[in-house]
Amino acid sequence: MEGDGGGRSSNSAGQDPSWEADPRAEGAASESSLPPLFVAGPPQRAARVELPPESPDPTVLPEITLLDRAVSRGDDPDALAGLPLPPDRLLARQYRVVRPLGYGGMGEVYLALDTKVGGREVAIKILRPENAPQHAANGGREDGAPHPAPGSPEHSLSPEHPLARERQELVELNHDDIIRVFNYGHHPDVGDFLVLQYVDGPTLEEVRARAELHPEEFGDSRFYEFVLAYGVRFLAGLGYLHAPERGKVYGDLKPSNVMHDGSTTKFIDVGSVRRAGAPGLTSADYRAPTVGPRGESTGADDLFSLGETLRHLCGLDDLDQFADLSLLTCLDAPSAESPLSRATRRMTVPQPPEALGLGLFSLARTLRRATRPDRSDRFATAREMDEQLRGVFRELRSLRLRTETFEPSPLFLQSAYALDGGLGTPPPLSRWALGAPEHTAHTAHTADGAAGRDGAVPYTAPEPADAAQQLPVPRPDPDDAHHIELSRLGDDDPAALLQHTAEWRASPEVHLLRCRLTLRTALRPGAQVPPRLDAAAVALVRAEEAIGPGAAPYDWRLAWHRGLLALAAADVRRARVHFDRVYAAIPGEYAPKLALGHCAERLGRWREALTFYEAVRVRNPSLGGAAFGAARARLTLGGPRALGYAVEALDAVAQHSRHRTAARVAAVRVCVDHARGADDLTEVVRRLGRLFYAHGLTDEQARLRMRAEVWEAARALLASGAVSAARLREVAHGADVRLRFPLTERQLRVGLSRFCLGLAQQATRDPTAADTHLAELLLDRAYATRPFGLRHQRGEER
């Protein structure tokens, strides 16, 4: 149903007495005197809530059916006493009053039947002249004269009157999420009125109260995804109003002014819609601090009110707490007194913070940006906020279901690099020249020198300089003068690209490109005269100047590139600060979380690293960088399921991903490092066969190194007694025949000797080998490994 009521009343921002000519208007200007049309909390109207099927669509909502319609409801007679229209009154010879529905800051609301359109149910809103939004500032008409009294002959507005034009514009509004204004009219006894679409459903204030009492009706933590769905739907309506051709604002967005209509939503108080910058009604609890003294609002102020509305639905406490990543430390040892637990104590659907993962942070940070005091700190447009709400929705859904909810990023290009830290490639040649590793439990050490848990095997994150070159790149700004050319550029040869773009007319995106290209050439190994990182910093300063002092402090692209430069200089702590600013600005994006995961890993913050990596990996398993990071963090943290979790993360990299082969290589290497018996060896050999003949490792040199790795592990297990000769034969019989896995210890040594000879040949052809004696060491290893015999053996023994 259409109305102004709710848990909080409408009131103007800085009214003067001319806004309160009617005794009931005084109640509308009060925070608590207006009886709510809907009461938050019990007693509630009976309703049936049907959860929709699981869907990646961020606009899907539950179906809510009221079991007692407002037309049959017995409201408190004292609350509606004094309303002037009795039932059966015919307004403007067309609309027959059925009963009062309520009243609010803008006027009384009645249910009526449209006698000229088949008895259609409509809502009649009586407009108090003192609340005419465009003209309240001067208390009357555009010429400053007071409004004529309702019912006077001169009160009826001509089509040319500004108020008539405003009401005609309301009639012309046509959006699914905004209640329709069918008509406007005038009746001598009551004055002007609007004729609106009649809908009857719970307001968001009712929905919030119901979710707090019965969270299971909304899927428990799934409720937060529905909150984001509300936000996405509301932004569609706000974007429609804010469009340049309309130039309007909603002005008074709050939970009681939005209705859940079946499985859709409606803005129900169109009386607050006005031209941007015009005065009008607002509500104190949801009003932006930048709203004018008489309610003068902009589109950014509507986004603030939306952020406050969504925050109220969630029940989140002070959003400024979520500016500090130290809240994530409670995930190491969750407790009732942890910072995150305190920050979420009043959530609508209480959840253990660790169960929500990073999704809670991302949700809170999105709402925090929407409700910043400075208008420039907020989202600039409804579309910009919509992108971030959709990203957070996908993150929350993925973490809840542990399943992919992927959509290409609107702001970043997907990186071609795996960020695997070498784990996704076969071991280097030096690994055999230095001797066989011990395949027994040993203690790892974190980046800050602390011992790993449960004898975890250490794996190294990419070097900061490598990460600076391999993290995702922002998409070119569509409004940049060189957007088309930038969108077509490759990045194979940064030095050549620097030459190619040298004559381009300067623009912010060109300077940012040159910053990245100069950074990459400065870090390029073997460069004769590499540019200094200072040159990349100069390019970034020029980008900042081109963006301008008004916009540069709020442009996350500058913070992203400052983070890259800090990584290139190996200043990980400073890089973390810059990437955290990016995360605060665009909380729905995966790229800053990937960067923060890397920084946390390099700083030894393993639980924090895992939290970031998991938020990215589960949402988009094709991103190998997140899978490798999650695997490293899981293994370093240790625990009885650490290996299983790590391998599961690597296996989840999709078959169509460019990083699938690297992930399968990493899974084999991790399983080799953790092999402790015959069953483990069986799994390793099975995975090796799949890697060669199903998962894309076709390079013969890489295959040789992986064979040598697995054969070496088998020999170590056999020598230690962890695998018997009989079990070795069982493993060989179960292996893919194309692997030619050895049946005996002698065959193992023959195979390893042959592999070392092949590795020595690779060393002679490797121009990057640091040790000039590497081939000789590998030859010595081959001869030492080959079994002693009294006669020449032709070929490999089977």
Instruction: Find all residues with CB under 8 Å of 370, minimum gap 6, and list them.
Output: 303, 304, 306, 307, 310, 378, 379, 385
With beta carbons less than 8 A apart as the criterion, state whether 557 and 544 touch: no
Give the number of other CB atoms < 10 A from CB of residue 725.
10
What is the DSSP code string of 6-27?
SSS--EESS--GGG--SHHHHH
With beta carbons less than 8 A apart as the criterion, state whether 10 and 269 touch: yes
Q: Most confidently modeled of 102-106, 152-156, 187-191?
A: 187-191
Q: From 771, 380, 415, select the one nearest 554 (Cα to Cα).
A: 380
Average pLDDT across the chain, whole number: 82
What pLDDT, on the 0 to 100 scale, is given for residue 764? 85
Whether 359 shows a pLDDT value over 70: the answer reads yes
What whole-number distance in Å separates Cα of residue 405 and Cα of residue 607? 23
Chain CA centroid to CA 78, Å = 47
What pLDDT, on the 0 to 100 scale, is given for residue 26? 35
Whether 78 shows a pLDDT value over 80: the answer reads no
Whether 82 shows a pLDDT value over 90: the answer reads no
Tokens 């309506």 belong to residue: 237
Band of pLDDT at residue 438, cut at 50, 70 and 90: very low
What pLDDT, on the 0 to 100 scale, is given for residue 541? 96
What whole-number distance in Å separates Cα of residue 796 and Cα of residue 798? 6
Least confident of 39-43, 75-79, 94-98, 118-122: 39-43
What pLDDT, on the 0 to 100 scale, is given for residue 27? 33
Q: Where are the alpha helices (DSSP H) in 135-221?
A: 162-172, 204-213
Least confident of 37-41, 167-171, 749-753: 37-41
Band of pLDDT at residue 171, cut at 50, 70 and 90: confident
Q: From 602, 586, 100, select the one nearest 389 (Cα to Cα).
A: 586
- Would the pTM count as exceeding 0.95? no
Long-range contacts of 500-506, Cβ-Cβ distance < 8 Å, separation of 24 or more:
505/481, 506/542, 506/546
With beta carbons less than 8 A apart as the criterion, state whether 741 and 748 touch: no
Give the neighbor-by-neighbor strand order of the sheet with 95-103: 90-91, 95-103, 108-114, 120-126, 191-197, 181-187
State how far the alpha carbon of 263 is from the alpha carbons of 65, 177, 393, 485, 669, in Å.
9, 11, 18, 44, 50
Across 394-431, b (16+ Cβ under 10 Å) vs e yields bbbbbbbeeebbeeebbbbeebebbbbbbbbbbbbbeb
pLDDT tens digits, 469-493:
999 999 999 998 888 888 888 767 8
Across 87-125, b (16+ Cβ under 10 Å) vs e yields eebebeebbbbbbbbbbbbbbbbbbbbbeeeeeebbbbb
Q: What is the mean pLDDT of residues 240-253?
A: 95
How many Cα atoms within 13 Å fall on the side-chain side of residue 680? 24
Share of the chain above pLDDT 90, in %: 58
What is the DSSP code string of 323-383?
G-GGGGGGGTS--TTSHHHHHTTT-SS---HHHHTHHHHHHHHHHHHHT-SSGGGS-SSHH
Residue, of 575 and 443, whose pLDDT is higher = 575
Q: Most confidently modeled of 478-487, 591-600, 774-783?
A: 591-600
SS3 of residue 125 by DSSP = strand
Token code pair at residue 734 = 């179960």
What whole-number distance in Å separates Cα of residue 180 and Cα of residue 177? 9
Q: From 647, 746, 773, 755, select the one nearest 709 (Cα to Cα).
A: 755
CA dihedral 14, 20, 23, 28 (to 10 degrees): -40
What pLDDT, on the 0 to 100 scale, is given for residue 66? 87
In this structure, is the dihedral angle defined by the CA atoms of residues 783, 788, 790 and 793, taken in order, positive or negative? Answer: negative
Instruction: Find all residues with CB under 8 Å of 89, minimum gap 6, and list them.
Output: 96, 97
What whole-number distance in Å separates Cα of residue 352 and Cα of residue 354? 5
Band of pLDDT at residue 146, cut at 50, 70 and 90: very low
pLDDT tens digits, 204-238:
999 999 999 999 999 999 999 999 999 999 999 99
Instruction: Find all residues with CB under 8 Å of 68, minimum gap 6, and list them.
Output: 45, 46
CA dihedral 183, 185, 187, 188 (to 10 degrees): 170
Band of pLDDT at residue 528, cut at 50, 70 and 90: low
Tokens 């297990």 belong to residue: 717
Task: Please list the residues that pair with 451 across neighbouring strands.
Answer: 445
The phi, psi pair for 591, rounded to 5°, reads: -60, -50
Tokens 């909150």 belong to residue: 227
Whether 768 shows a pLDDT value over 70: the answer reads no
Q: What is the mean pLDDT of residues 98-120?
A: 82
Q: What is the mean pLDDT of residues 285-292?
A: 95
Q: What is the mean pLDDT of residues 606-615?
A: 93
Residue, of 503 and 356, whose pLDDT is higher = 503
Calculate ∠ Cα 258-29-164, nearest 5°.
Answer: 70
Give the strand pairing for 248-249 and 258-261.
unpaired
125 annotated as ligand-binding: yes
What pLDDT, on the 0 to 100 scale, is given for residue 455? 44
Residue, of 26 and 89, whose pLDDT is higher = 89
Whether 500 shows a pLDDT value over 70: the answer reads yes
Least confident of 298-307, 315-324, 590-599, 732-741: 315-324
What whole-number distance in Å separates Cα of residue 263 and Cα of residue 47? 13
Least confident of 74-83, 103-112, 462-471, 541-550: 74-83
Band of pLDDT at residue 691, cut at 50, 70 and 90: very high
DSSP element (H, E) containing 196: strand 191-197
Complete domains list, the chain, with CATH: 11-197 (3.30.200.20), 204-409 (1.10.510.10), 410-415+459-603 (1.25.40.10), 424-446+605-798 (1.25.40.10)
Token code pair at residue 26 = 């005084």
Q: What is the mean pLDDT of residues 618-632?
A: 93
Q: What is the mean pLDDT of residues 717-723?
A: 94
What pLDDT, on the 0 to 100 scale, is given for residue 105? 55
Token code pair at residue 204 = 């968001």
What pLDDT, on the 0 to 100 scale, is given for residue 104? 57
What pLDDT, on the 0 to 100 scale, is given for residue 610? 93
What whole-number distance in Å separates Cα of residue 167 and Cα of residue 131? 13
**Dmax (CA) of the chain:** 125
What pLDDT, on the 0 to 100 scale, is given for residue 35? 30
State how far the alpha carbon of 254 is from the alpha carbons of 22, 203, 530, in Å.
24, 10, 57
Band of pLDDT at residue 108, cut at 50, 70 and 90: confident
DSSP element (H, E) containing 100: strand 95-103
DSSP element (H, E) containing 399: helix 382-401
